[in-house]
Amino acid sequence: MSFALNRRLAGLMAGTVLAVSGTAAVQAQEFINILTGGTSGVYYPLGVALSEIYAENIEGSRTQVQATKASVENLNLLQQGKGELAFALGDSVQSGWEGLEEAGFPQPLTELRAIAAIYPNYVQIVASAESGIETLEDIRGKSMSVGAPASGTELNARAIFEAAGMSYDDLGKLEYLPYAESAELIKNRQLDSTLQSSGLGVAFIKDLTATMDINIVAIPAEVVESIGAPYVPSVIPAGTYDGQDEDVPTAAIGNILVSHAGVSDEVAYQMTKLLFENLDRLQASHAAAAAIDPAKATEGLSIPLHPGAERYYREAGLL
């Protein structure tokens, strides 16, 4: 066989190896879709920060952040394998696992797996000062937005209203709108108030305080206690928002980072490990992340831990 023919065969073989290697690399690429919430909430900036952290540190990964209607939609998407990580409220996670149809879960979401309990959400009822709403009782006959239909926020609204001896029928007008749209209607005097569930320092309330006087309406501890777990009495500390001079009693519900059983143990391990190794970056993206504590990451979970996350907690001495 001539030297020239040998060289041609060697070239063909090398090309074949490169083609096979390239295919393997594509197949090995890990896609991580992070399901968040509205862009003016807390889930979204934290999701963006996590996507950047994962893209930089999980070899071969390609990340994406998806804005959604938050908890209920996120959990249903995870069950369908249409995301790898999602933010969700603890009560929504419990309802999804149990398949509570009135909460937006026609069937039990048996594929859900927990990555970590993170920071608490606070139910924040905001009203324009000119509406005259200062207490829960003052909401009767007034207009209010309660989040997107069957969202985690809207489930919180139903629970608060029932515990306070009220219902949506007591409102003069009911809207099902997320953060940003609610804020716009309040600014335009087309809506008196909104109930939203979020981390402290949420952008839409800060935006409102920059343009008008508002009242943050208290939810008394006895109302919260009558609901029971996972709701706990808490406060929105004085100074959280401009013009808020006193602590405001409210309800808190823990948030959970959730994955699903189809995500590999290694990817779930890396997502958990990198979450806690980069808390400073998460805090830089939103102050709510300051409440994320690895020592409390396995507390209050109503679904099984993902085996990859469990591996991290055992290595870290947290289980």
Same domain, 127 and 249: yes
Same domain, 212 and 156: yes
Same domain, 259 and 249: no
Specify the pLDDT at position 78. 98
203, 226, 253 - which closes a domain? 253
Same domain, 248 and 261: no
pTM above 0.85, yes or no: no
> Has residue 125 been placed in a domain?
yes
Q: Which helix (H) or strand (E) holds 227?
A: helix 221-227
Specify the pLDDT at position 32. 98
More reliable by pLDDT, 129 or 3? 129
Same domain, 154 and 276: no
- Which amino acid is residue 101, in one-letter code? E
Q: What is the dihedral of CA 271, 277, 279, 285, to 10 degrees?
A: -60
Same domain, 206 and 298: no
Q: Is residue 20 scored above 60 in pLDDT?
A: no
pLDDT in tens, 216-272: 999 999 999 999 888 999 999 999 999 999 999 999 999 999 999 999 999 999 999
Q: Is residue 161 scored above 50 in pLDDT?
A: yes
Share of the chain above pLDDT 90, in %: 82
Q: Are 115 and 310 in contact (CB under 8 A)?
A: no
pLDDT in tens, 22-79: 333 333 578 999 999 988 889 999 999 999 999 999 999 999 999 999 999 999 999 9
CATH code for the domain in which residue 285 is found:
3.40.190.10
**156 confidence band (pLDDT: 50, 70, 90):** very high
Q: Which helix (H) or strand (E) holds 124?
A: strand 112-128
> Has residue 243 been placed in a domain?
yes
Same domain, 149 and 95: no
Q: Are 36 and 69 in contact (CB under 8 A)?
A: no
Specify the pLDDT at position 28. 55
Percentages of the chain per state (helix, strand, coil), in multiples of 5: 45, 20, 35
Specify the pLDDT at position 61. 95
Query: Which of 50-54, 128-132, 144-148, 304-308 has the lowest average pLDDT?
Result: 144-148
Average pLDDT in the 87-115 region?
95
Q: Is residue 1 scored above 70 in pLDDT?
A: no
Average pLDDT in the 299-306 region?
94
Q: In Å, how far are 43, 65, 140, 153, 172 from 91, measured between CA atoms? A: 16, 23, 26, 10, 28
Specify the pLDDT at position 230. 87
Same domain, 149 and 227: yes
> Has residue 9 been placed in a domain?
no
> Has residue 47 been placed in a domain?
yes
How many residues are listed for the chain in this entry?
Answer: 319
CA angle 177-40-89, nearest 5°?
Answer: 70
Total tally of structural domains belonging to the chain: 2
Cα Rg of the chain (Å, integer):
23
- Of the candidates 151, 174, 145, 176, the residue with the CA atom closest to the CA atom of residue 69: 151
Same domain, 125 and 269: no
Specify the pLDDT at position 29. 72
Q: Could you tell me how far CA 196 lies from the centroid of its own chain?
A: 13
230, 253, 276 - which closes a domain? 253
Please state, in angstroms and rounded to a whole number, the distance separating the CA atoms of residues 122 and 167.
Answer: 20
Q: Could you tell me how far CA 280 lies from the centroid of its own chain?
A: 18
Same domain, 80 and 195: no
Range of the domain at 48: 29-119+255-315
**116 confidence band (pLDDT: 50, 70, 90):** very high
SS3 category, 62: strand
Chain-wide mean pLDDT for the chain?
A: 90
Same domain, 34 and 127: no
Same domain, 249 and 131: yes
Specify the pLDDT at position 12. 38
Specify the pLDDT at position 109. 98
Please state, in angstroms and rounded to a whole number, the distance separating the CA atoms of residues 269 and 140.
Answer: 48
- Which amino acid is residue 297, in one-letter code? A
Specify the pLDDT at position 148. 82
